[in-house]
Structure 1
C-alpha cells in the first residue's frame, strides 16, 4: 500500500505558488508520525480501485484508534480521539434532526465482507444510533445480480465498505442501507451492481467510492444513468490529475473533498479544499448543461460538482475489519468518505425522486444553498480554478458543501 501526502503543510506549500490565493481558513494541525495510507492497490485498466484512506502511525504501523477511552479502543492506545462522529457530521452540514422517511441509500463496492452487519452494529451502538440490521429491514446485502451468495472477502474493499456504511449512518441515521457487492472490481461488475441497486424499491441514492482512468460514457454510462435516483461518485485522492471514472460520467454527481475543522464561527466549522481532492476536466464525456453558467473553463465534463469532508486527518471514526474475523476503530478519509455522505444527504432531501432530471443538476440550480469553499489547492494546473478553491465553482469542491439538504 502507498503513502500519500495530505497534511496541511503540503496544502500551504501548494497554495503559496498562487499569488491570487484567497486567505486560508483554519487548517488541521499536522500530527507527527501519522500518514494516510490507501487500503486498495492500483489495478489494471478496465478495473476500479477503492479510494478509502486510513490514518496510520508511522512509528508502529497501527491505525489511529477511536474513540478515546471507549471500551472498544485497543488496550494501551495513546492515540488522540480526533475522528468525526455522527454529531459532528450533522452539525457541520446542518443535518441535525432531519429525517429521510425511510429512504434507502445504496452502497456499491467490490468483494465480500462477512462481518459487515456485526461491525455496523458496533458503530451505531457506540454513537447511540438506532439499530440497522437485516432482521429489522434496515440493512440489505446482496451480490451484483441481486442474489444472496456473496463474493469472497477482500480486506481493502471491506475497509471501504465499512467506511461507506458508517458514513451513511453518520449523516442519515434513519436511512435504510443497501449494500451491493460486485464479484470483482471490474467496471463491468461494479456497473452491474449499480444497475441492480437502481432496481431495488425505495433507493433514493447510490454511492460509488471508487474509480479508474477517465472513460467514455459510451462504454459504461448506461450503468450510471438513473434519473430520479442520485448517483454519486468520488473524484479520487490524487489532486489535480485529470478525471476519474465514474466521477467523470455525465450521469453522476462528482464529489470532491475538504478539510473540516471545528472553529468559533457562527457555523461552528470551517472548510478548505483538501489537497488530495480529485479535480479536472474529462477528455471524453459531455459537459453538464446545468454547469454552463458557472464558467468551469472545461470544454467537457468538469469535476467536482459538490464536496464534503475527505481529508483523512479530519476524517471519520470508523469500525472496520483488520482481517476476515477481527475489527477495530480507526480514522478514515478520502473522497470515499465524501461520496456516501453526499448520497445520504440526497436521500434526506428526497428531491431527486421528484424529478425526471439527473440529480447532478440540482447543486447548480441551488448553488446558493451550499457553503462556498474559497481556500485550498489540489496542485498546479493550466487554469487556476481547476485546482484552486475560490468564490463560485472550482474543481476541488464544485459549488461547495451542503448547508442542509435543500440544495440537493
Structure 2
C-alpha cells in the first residue's frame, strides 16, 4: 500500500495550451463575477491513514472491517489544522471567503481576485467535447504558502465523458433474390451519380461468439469526402438464426463511418448496406463475413420493440437472459429482496455530471427522463422501484447545458442498479468534478457504494484538470474506504488508449496516442469494471466471453485503431497505469508489476452481444459500455453490504485473494485492446475475469 497524499511538487502548473489553442476563445470571464474553487488539504496523519486503509481492507488483520464513523474519520485523519489555518489566513487577506467541507476548503472570490492569486486569466472556451467551459488561459503560479495543499479543484470547469453507448434497431430483412453477388476480396464499392461508397472489411478470419465483423465505410461526393452521408435503411440480407444490432460510428468530417455486427450461428454471410447523403442513395454488397460457434439465446424483435419481424440476440434484462442468473447472483439479489420486503433497502451513491435541477428537485425537467425511464423499467419487470434523493449539487461546471449524454448515462445507471439491487435507495451526487462529489459522499456517509460511470485518461488529467488532481482523489478515496464505502468505476471504452477518443476534441495527439488507463478507475482504492462480449446459450448458461471489441486490436495497425477510436468507436479499456503505482494486492500475484493494472473485473459491455435492454426517454433500446457494468456490480456489492449491515470498503484485496479459489472467476477467452492481450490469467485487458458473484460475495 502506498500513500498518495502528495504535496504539490512545483509552483508552475501547465494548462493544456494545445487544447485551448484548438478551442474557440469566447473571451475573458467578467472580473467581477463570483467564482468558487476548492483546495484539497493534507490529512493530519497521512501515513496513518494509508496504514489504516490497508489494515481495514485485509482479511485476517485485527482491524479488518472495523470501519470509522465520519466523526472518527475527521478526528483521526481529517484536515491538518495548521495547514488549514495558514491557508485560510492568507486567503482572507487576499479578499476571499472560505468554507471548510470535509477535506476540501471551498474558496469564493471574484474572478479578478483569482486571476491575481494565480497570475492567470479565467477565460471561456468552446470545443466539440466540452461545449462551453472555463479554464485559465495560461500556466498558473501557485503561491509558496499554498504549496502545502494536496491539490486544487475547480479551476478548470469541464465535464468528464460518460462511458455509455446506446443503439436502436437498424437490422433489416430481405429475401435472397434481392441480394446481389458477393464481391471478391475484402473491399467493395457502389456508385450513384457523383456519390461513391467504398467498404473495407477490417476484421480477418472467422468470428467467434462475442466477436463482431467490422467494416470501414467511406463516402465521397464529386470526389470529396461526403460529410452528410448516413444509413438509409441499414443492412439487409438473408442469414441463419439471430442477427445482432448494428453498431455505427460516424466521423462526418472525414466522410467515414465504422459499422459492425455479429450472428449467433455458424454461417458465411454477405449483407447489403444502403446509405444516402439526402440526395443520392447507393447500395453496396459487403465483403463476406464468416461466423463460427454455437447457437445463442434469441428473442423476437416485435416483443422488444413492438414491431418488426425476426429474431435478435436476447439482450440482458431481469426477466430473460438475466445477468443475475448468468453471473450467479441469484442468492445475492434474493437476500437483498428479503430485506427490502422488511422495509430495509441498500443505499447506493451515483455520480452524474449534471441533469439535476438547481434545487435538487427530481421532478424537474432536467431529471424527468432518467426518473421515468427507471419507473418504466421497474414496472416492465415487476421490480420494486428505487427511491431517489439528491444529496449534493456541486458548483455548476455545466456551462453549456446542451451537453449530451448525461441523461442517457443516468437512465442506464439507474436501470442497471434496479437490475442488481431492486428497490435500492439511490443518492445522487451531481458535480463537474470527481473530487468534489467524493468529498460530499464522505461527509454524508450515507451510502455503502459509490458508482461512477465516467472517466478520462489518467495522463489527460495532468493536462485537462487541476494541479494535484489524482493525489487529491486518492486521499479522498482512502477516506471513503476508511468509512467502509466501496467505490466502483467503469474502466473505459477506448481499448488500451483511454485518451484516443479525445483527439477530435482538441486533446494533444501525444496523449491520445499513448497507451493509458482511465481515471478514476486507475486508482488503487477503486474497483474498476472492464467490458466483454458474451455468448449465452438458449438454456441461459455462458458459453464464451471475449473482450468487448474482440481481437481488433491485434488485427489492424495501431494508427488505424486509434483513428477508429477517435471516431467514437468503442472497445473495452484496460492497461497498466504510468501514473498510479501497483498496489500490494496486485503485486502479490504479479511481483514485477510496476503500475496499477486496470480493470479488476469485467462484465458485459457490448450493445451487440447481447446488449442491455433499457429505456431512454420512454423508448426501448439496447445499451452498453463499461458504464453498464459499474452500476450493475455496485448493486451486487450494496446487496451484500445490506446483508452484513455494514459497508465493505476497498474490496480489491478480497477480490485478488479469491483468485486462487476455483470457479470464482470465469476467464475471458480472447481479446486484444491494441496495447495488451488476454492471457488466460489476470491481465490488463479483462482483469481477473468475469465474476461468479454468489461464490465470492457470499463466502
Show the counterpart of 1:404.
Answer: 693
The root-mean-square deviation of aligned C-alpha atoms, in Å, is 3.9
Show the counterpart of 1:41.
Answer: none
Aligned mates of 2:470, 2:627 — CA distance in 1: 21
C-alpha contact (below 8 Å) 1:104/1:204 kept by paired residues: yes
Query: Of the candidates 484, 492, 496, which is equivalent to residue 240 of structure 1?
Result: 496
Say whether 1:205 aligns with 2:449. Answer: yes
Aligned mates of 1:59, 1:210 — CA distance in 2: 34
Say whether 1:129 aligns with 2:383. Answer: yes
How far 1:81 moved relative to its partner? 6.8
Deviations 1:91-120 (A, max 9, x none): 111112433342212211111142122221
Aligned mates of 2:521, 2:301 — CA distance in 1: 35
C-alpha contact (below 8 Å) 2:532/2:545 kept by paired residues: yes
Aligned mates of 1:198, 1:36 — CA distance in 2: 40
Alignment of 1:6-17 (within 5 A): 13=203
Aligned mates of 1:77, 1:200 — CA distance in 2: 50
Alignment of 1:15-30 (within 5 A): 26-27=209-210
C-alpha distance 177-68 of structure 1, shift in aligned 2 (>3 A): farther
Aligned mates of 2:208, 2:371 — CA distance in 1: 39
Aligned mates of 2:212, 2:471 — CA distance in 1: 44
C-alpha contact (below 8 Å) 1:277/1:378 kept by paired residues: no
Of structures 1 and 2, the one with the larger relative CO (CA 8 A, separation 6+) is 1
How does the TM-score come out when normalised to structure 1? 0.74
Deviations 1:34-74 (A, max 9, x none): 11559xxxxxxxxxxxxxxxx9xx9699xxxx98445x846
How far 1:270 moved relative to its partner? 3.1
Show the counterpart of 1:217.
Answer: 470
C-alpha distance 343-360 of structure 1, shift in aligned 2 (>3 A): same
How far 1:273 moved relative to its partner? 1.9
C-alpha distance 69-370 of structure 1, shift in aligned 2 (>3 A): same
The runs of 5 or more residues in structure 2 that have no matched partner are 1-127, 130-163, 168-199, 214-242, 251-260, 262-272, 277-298, 340-344, 356-365, 462-468, 498-515, 550-570
Query: Of the candidates 107, 114, 120, which is equivalent to residue 374 of structure 2?
Result: 120
Structure showing greater radius of gyration is 2
C-alpha contact (below 8 Å) 2:597/2:683 kept by paired residues: no
Say whether 1:231 aligns with 2:484. Answer: no
Show the counterpart of 1:35.
Answer: 247
How far 1:78 moved relative to its partner? 7.5
C-alpha distance 173-60 of structure 1, shift in aligned 2 (>3 A): farther
C-alpha distance 32-106 of structure 1, shift in aligned 2 (>3 A): closer
How far 1:388 moved relative to its partner? 1.9
C-alpha distance 34-355 of structure 1, shift in aligned 2 (>3 A): closer
Query: Of the candidates 562, 577, 600, which is equivalent to residue 282 of structure 1?
Result: 577
Say whether 1:332 aligns with 2:332. Answer: no
Q: Secondary structure of the residue that 1:366 maps to in structure 2?
A: helix
Alignment of 1:132-147 (within 5 A): 132=386, 138-145=387-394
How far 1:336 moved relative to its partner? 0.8
C-alpha distance 344-230 of structure 1, shift in aligned 2 (>3 A): same
C-alpha contact (below 8 Å) 2:449/2:647 kept by paired residues: no
Q: Secondary structure of the residue that 1:319 maps to in structure 2?
A: strand
Show the counterpart of 2:406.
Answer: 157
Show the counterpart of 1:371.
Answer: 665
C-alpha distance 79-108 of structure 1, shift in aligned 2 (>3 A): farther
Deviations 1:120-141 (A, max 9, x none): 1001111111122xxxxx2223
Between 359-368 and 216-225, the greater mean CA deviation after superposition: 216-225
Alignment of 1:2-401 (within 5 A): 13=203, 26-27=209-210, 31=243, 34-36=246-248, 68-69=301-302, 73=305, 80=312, 82-87=314-319, 88-97=322-331, 98=333, 99-100=335-336, 101=339, 102-112=345-355, 113-115=366-368, 116-132=370-386, 138-145=387-394, 154-182=403-431, 184=432, 189-200=433-444, 202-214=446-458, 215=461, 217-225=470-478, 226-227=480-481, 228-241=484-497, 242-263=516-537, 267-275=541-549, 276-295=571-590, 298-313=593-608, 314-321=610-617, 327-350=618-641, 358-367=650-659, 368=661, 370-381=664-675, 387-401=676-690
The runs of 5 or more residues in structure 1 that have no matched partner are 17-22, 39-54, 133-137, 322-326, 382-386
Aligned mates of 1:78, 1:111 — CA distance in 2: 39
Which protein has the bigger strand share? Answer: 2
How far 1:372 moved relative to its partner? 2.8
Aligned mates of 2:668, 2:208 — CA distance in 1: 9
How far 1:205 moved relative to its partner? 1.0
How far 1:261 moved relative to its partner? 1.7
Deviations 1:116-167 (A, max 9, x none): 22221001111111122xxxxx2223433599xxx95754111011111111
C-alpha contact (below 8 Å) 1:263/1:269 kept by paired residues: yes
How far 1:364 moved relative to its partner? 0.4
C-alpha distance 85-119 of structure 1, shift in aligned 2 (>3 A): same
C-alpha contact (below 8 Å) 1:285/1:300 kept by paired residues: yes
C-alpha contact (below 8 Å) 1:114/1:153 kept by paired residues: no
Between 194-203 and 286-295, the greater mean CA deviation after superposition: 194-203
C-alpha contact (below 8 Å) 1:372/1:391 kept by paired residues: no
Q: Secondary structure of the residue that 2:696 maps to in structure 1?
A: coil
Aligned mates of 2:674, 2:444 — CA distance in 1: 42
Aligned mates of 2:627, 2:474 — CA distance in 1: 20
C-alpha contact (below 8 Å) 2:530/2:573 kept by paired residues: yes
How far 1:405 moved relative to its partner? 3.8
How far 1:77 moved relative to its partner? 8.5
